[in-house]
Structure 1
Amino acid sequence: MRARVEVFAAIRRDARVEGLSVRALAVRHGVHRRTVRAALESADPPERKTPVRLAAKLQTFKPAVDAMLVEDTTAPRKQRHTARRILARLIEEHGAEDLSYSTVRDYVRVRRAEIDVEAGRRVEVFVPQEHAPSAEAEVDFGEVWVVLNGVKTKCHMFVYRLSHSGKAVHRVYPTQAQEAFLEGHIDAFTALGGVPTRHIRYDNLTAAVTAVVFGQGRQRVENDRWVLFRSHYGFDAFYCQPGVTGAHEKGGVEGEVGRFRRNRLSPMPVVASLDELNDRIRVWEAEDDNRRINDRIRTVGQDFDTEQPLLAALPTETFDSGLVLTPRVDRSSMITVRMVKYSVPTRFIGRKVRVSLRASEIVVFDRRTTVARHQRITVKLGQSVQLDHYLEVLKAKPGALPGSTALARAREGGSFTNAHEAFWAASRRVNGDADGTRELIDVLLLHRFMHADDIQAGISAALTVGAVSADVVAVEARRHAAGALIEDRELTAVGGSTSDRHSGAHRGAHVESDVQRVVSLTQRRLMDPAAVIAGLPPDSRPIPSVSSYDELLAKRTSSNVSDTASKENIS
């Protein structure tokens, strides 16, 4: 069409500027004289007429084809006529040997749609809906790709959307299993401060529905845990029609999945953990309160302010969204959950423990006490090993530490730092491999009740004075923590922020000036310049000697020899 408009414009320009005849214009532009006359009459080219194929050979068989297509309107979906089957029946029953497959196919494609509309099967009428405040919500999952720890990873985004205001909550999980489904609801209810009073719309996803009862309307066989969850929070579920036909019944959340993915998750977010990504999403959700949906006058946030007080109140008790399992701890102090191994403290070897399998983590309990916590791994045959779980065994078997999987994972995760490496190397030089490793393990045990930054400062202070002892590290770590606490109080008094308890050069200077450091007695004895820096007076006492004790040892040895000789003479 565009080419014809340009040709018409060129013909009209040449006729206007050069005054060429119709024949001359037709020769110059390579068109028929009728096209030139049409261009001179109007600048808008007439629409081309699509030729209609008559298919004369099919005319006598069209009533038979129509009868087959009408029969298909009441036949099972998988037992309807194809164009090839219609052609075969025409040949067998009506002797239509001269018909071609393409002729029958083209007619069936058009005529089937017409007959379906006549039978009322293809007419989709969408009636505009008004959603009362706080009455309804919609839920759906959408696939998203995330660069997680440098690896392109497929994740699943849970989306919960209030139908009236359009306020939505989004959470990204490694799976779309029931744990993520329930946890997404809990996060959404908590973030929005209430539960819809009528119902929530869903697909027939397996996290909620065990079976679809066909022929019984919207009746479903629901998962027992899902029924318990609905009962706990007090809401009803509305299940859409299966397949594509039911997608429009929750079109709001379907569109929200695509909108948020395009506008917030493109390009792929690069994060170290899904918790970091979900923290970003919370900020984006707050920003989306200022947007308007289509032609609405009020923003999403303004409509939600009206809707939120009308939501049903949350229950006082928290629902545990995790799936409870009871695996047994093997000889490697590992449990197997969904074909993935996770470490637990070695004291539980041979026992069964209670595990709460959640969307993004697993938590291991001994009765009601949490004994281990891991980020959930979705890769089959994966492992999550924590060095802390093996420290008691490694203290008895220090030679197993250098080649242990737990140490390798700690190095990869960054919890075993360069400070630990330096302390270990210095301790082995001074105390030997076995005892030096035990000193390191004692330092690692400090992490159970002290902050990592304090311990790292304690290690640095101990190495400065050459004291490779876990006790020295503990003392210095406590002093560092005390100095940081004093600094936090000073900042609080002047209105400063205390979110990072060990940041800033001023805090480091405060600790260095107000807290006395560990001093090496060896350096003090040898009048090392560091002793002068430490502010200690010179020690004029002589170096201790054990020569007097050696004299006593010699007397004792001679007495033992004389006693032995007298006994031999008596015998």
Structure 2
Amino acid sequence: MDHIAEIRRRHFISGEAIGEIGKSLNLSRPTVRKALKAETEPVYQRQVQPTPKLGDFKDQLTDWLVFDSKLPKRRRRTAQRLFEGLQAEGYQGSYGPVQRFVHDWKLASGKQPVSKQAFVPLAFPAGETCQFDWSYEYVLLDGILQAIKVAHFRLSYSRKMFLVAYPREAQEMVLDAHARAFTYFDGVPKRIIYDNLKTVVDAIFVGKERQFNRRFLTMANHYLFEPVACTPASGWEKGQVENQVGNVREWLFTPTPSFSGFDDLNAWLALRCQELANRSHPEQAGRTIADCFTEEQAPLLPVKAVFDGYVEKTMRVSSTCLVKVDHNRYSVPAEWVNRVVSVRLTADRIRLVADRQVLAEHARCYGRNQLVCDPWHYLPILEQKPGALRHGAPFQQWDLPTPIRIVRDRILKQDKGDRAFVELLLMARSLGETGLETLEVACDLTLQTGVIAAAIVLNEMRRLTEAVRPKALHSLPANIPTLHLDVQADCSRYDSLRGYRYEH
């Protein structure tokens, strides 16, 4: 109270009665007595906080809290998200009553607040340190609820963040995430702090000594940054990114967002990282994160070349020209059947390598029991077994252009049509990269004639690919001598030749 000093002075020094003091200051007698007993200003604490605007929404808020309590912790809405939901329902009050209601409800439900620990404030030079971590989130991909892994990067000086999502947490994902982050930051920090991830650390020794994964060290040597692993169970050593995980979950993944696929999701995450960089810097007043990031870009190490972040393993090709990777099968050219090839896995591609050359490349599939085939890999087998064309799985999935598909269906109904269509495919393969396009044009021309036969298609392909004849010369060059005497025929020479023949 502002009048404590005046009340005590008027009563103890001037000798005024309690009633007179209360009347002049418009205070009750009990209030004056409390002031006379207090030597310091009392802290007023209201026992019951009225919430008139929240009253009509308490049942709705309680229902939401009960529903969220049955979800995994990371999917529960925070008080801020519940407040925003109530605003959408028409709530006109402030955030404070909602926060207090949520806090009291959690206490009544037996959820005690987490005890706080004391920490030392940290300061990082520009361009020196970045922190890395994974988080486990839920999104709707093509209408299906899926659990995903999100890689988090945070530059410790500017607080600039980068996020990228993957179906799982594997070493090739770690390598790809770093390449994307360094491209996004347009530079590499000198140190990056990690948990003791199995994809990063192979063994933990005493203190800070670690045995890092060899493939991960290869990437670190490529970009010239120093990897640093935290002490086990000491997340505060990279507290910025730990807080970022919780904030991003609240800002971006609550409620559950929806996307068509990972490309759409990662494009949205990159856009949101740019938007969040416009927030005020938590320590440098008057500056945004984007402003500090502009300052931090200069001391970052330059990216001279992007690291090819693949993980390699050797596998034997099966008798059906397939290798099995992560419960899915991928085709290999037929000449490599029952031989060993190197399988290079990246976040989105699978490359099959042998003899220092790429034999095949496929888009990586993250389902199960999927068959990913290139029909051209099986063409040499069709030379010996043309009957496999009808029921071969690689050819049933083949998305051929419409003219080729129509001609194929017509030819397969003819006698020995399997072998005839295989000859067309062999001809297309011999033409290289333009072979399928040439076959499509030839099939289209054949359909226009109305007579469908493999011989006609072959003839059209040869006409389309035959060498261009040299143009006829209509005038002679100026340096060629000309004849001034006309050549006259001498038929008597033939008579002499006939006579020579009869004599001999």
> How would you bin the TM-score normalised by the shorter chain?
0.5 to 0.7
* SS of residue paired to 2:202: strand
Residue 242 of structure 1 aligns to which amino acid in structure 2? P
Q: 1:257 to 1:472 in 2, by over 3 A?
A: farther
Pairwise CA RMSD = 3.8
User: In the alignment, is the contact (CA less than 8 A) between 1:290 and 1:301 conserved in 2?
Assistant: yes
**Is this contact kept in 1: 2:313–2:342, CA < 8 A?**
yes
CA distance in 2, matches of 1:267, 1:447: 50
Identify the match of residue 228 of structure 2 among 234, 238, 254: 238
1:228 to 2:228 alignment:
no
Give the match for residue 473 of structure 2. none
Secondary structure in 2 matching 1:394:
helix
- Bigger helix share: 1
CA contact (8 A) 2:317 2:323 kept: yes
CA distance 1:147–1:348, shift in 2 (3 Å): farther
Say yes or no: does 1:360 pair with 2:344: no
Partner secondary structure for residue 211 of structure 1: strand
Give the TM-score normalised by structure 1. Answer: 0.54
Q: Measure how far apart 1:145 and its partner are.
A: 4.0
Task: Please tell me whether residue 143 in structure 1 is matched to residue 136 in structure 2.
Answer: yes
Q: How big is the shift at 1:163?
A: 1.5
Q: Identity of counterpart residues, as a percentage?
A: 27
Task: Give the TM-score taking structure 2 as reference length.
Answer: 0.60
Contact 2:424 2:458 in 1 (8 A): no
Which residue is equivalent to 2:492? Answer: none
User: What's the offset of the Cα at 1:238?
Assistant: 2.6
Answering whether residue 397 of structure 2 is matched by residue 391 of structure 1, we say: no
Task: Evaluate the alpha carbon distance shift between residue 279 and residue 165 of structure 1 in structure 2; reply closer, same or farther with a 3 A threshold.
Answer: same
Per-residue deviation, 1:395: 4.0
* CA 1:475–1:319: 2 relative to 1, 3 Å: same
The AA in structure 2 aligned to 1:374 is H
After the TM superposition, which residues 272-311 of structure 1 pair with which residues of structure 2 at under 5 Å, given as runs? 272=261, 274-293=262-281, 297-311=286-300
CA distance in 2, matches of 1:287, 1:300: 10
Give the deviation of 1:206 after TM superposition.
0.7
Amino acid paired to 2:363: Q
Could you tell me which amino acid in structure 1 is paired with residue 297 of structure 2? Q
2:418 paired residue number: 434
Cα deviations across residues 509-550 of structure 1 (Å, max 9, x unaligned)? xxxxxxxxxxxxxxxxxxxxxxxxxxxxxxxxxxxxxxxxxx
> Is the partner of 1:126 in helix, strand or coil?
coil
Cα distance in 2 between the residues matched to 1:420 and 1:455:
7
> Could you say which residue in structure 2 is the equivalent of 1:450?
434
Counterpart residue number, 1:195: 188
Structure 1 stretches lacking a partner, 5+ long: 1-43, 49-112, 114-121, 479-571
Q: Partner residue of 1:212?
A: 204
- TM-superposed CA distance for 1:150, in Å, is 6.3
Is the 8 Å Cα contact of residues 195 and 235 (structure 1) preserved in structure 2?
Answer: yes
Matched, 1:407 2:400: no
Cα deviation digits, residues 140-176 of structure 1 (max 9, x gap): 1122445556654433222222122222232222321
Could you tell me how far 1:401 is from its partner in structure 2?
2.0
Question: What amino acid is the match of 1:187?
Answer: R
Task: Say yes or no: does 1:350 pair with 2:343.
Answer: no
Which amino acid in 2 is paired with 1:252? Q
AA aligned to 2:129 is E
CA gap 1:46/1:321 in 2 versus in 1, 3 angstroms: closer
Which amino acid in the other structure matches residue 407 of structure 2?
Answer: F
Distance 1:258 1:123, change over 3 A: closer
Residue 184 in structure 1 maps to residue 177 in structure 2: yes
SS state at 1:398 partner? coil
1:358 partner amino acid = T
Question: What secondary structure, in the 3-state scheme, does the structure 2 residue paired with 1:183 have?
Answer: helix
Answer yes or no: is the 8 Å Cα contact 1:427–1:440 preserved in 2: no
Residue 302 of structure 2 is matched in structure 1 by: 313
Asked if 2 retains the 8 angstrom alpha-carbon contact of 1:455 and 1:474, the reply is yes
Pairing 1:93-132 to 2, within 5 Å after superposition? 124-132=117-125
Secondary structure of the structure 2 residue equivalent to 1:341: strand
Shift of 1:136: 0.7
Return the alpha-carbon distance in structure 1 between the equivalents of residues 139 and 459 of structure 2. 44
Q: Deviations over 1:5-61 (max 9, x none)?
A: xxxxxxxxxxxxxxxxxxxxxxxxxxxxxxxxxxxxxxx99738xxxxxxxxxxxxx
Alpha-carbon distance in structure 2 between the residues aligned to 1:465 and 1:382: 41
Name the stretch that deviates more: 337-346 or 461-470: 461-470
CA distance in 1, matches of 2:252, 2:458: 50
Distance 1:162 1:275 in 2: 24
SS of 2:301's partner is coil
Aligned counterparts of 2:291 and 2:463: Cα–Cα separation in 1: 54
Q: 1:124, CA displacement in angstroms?
A: 1.8
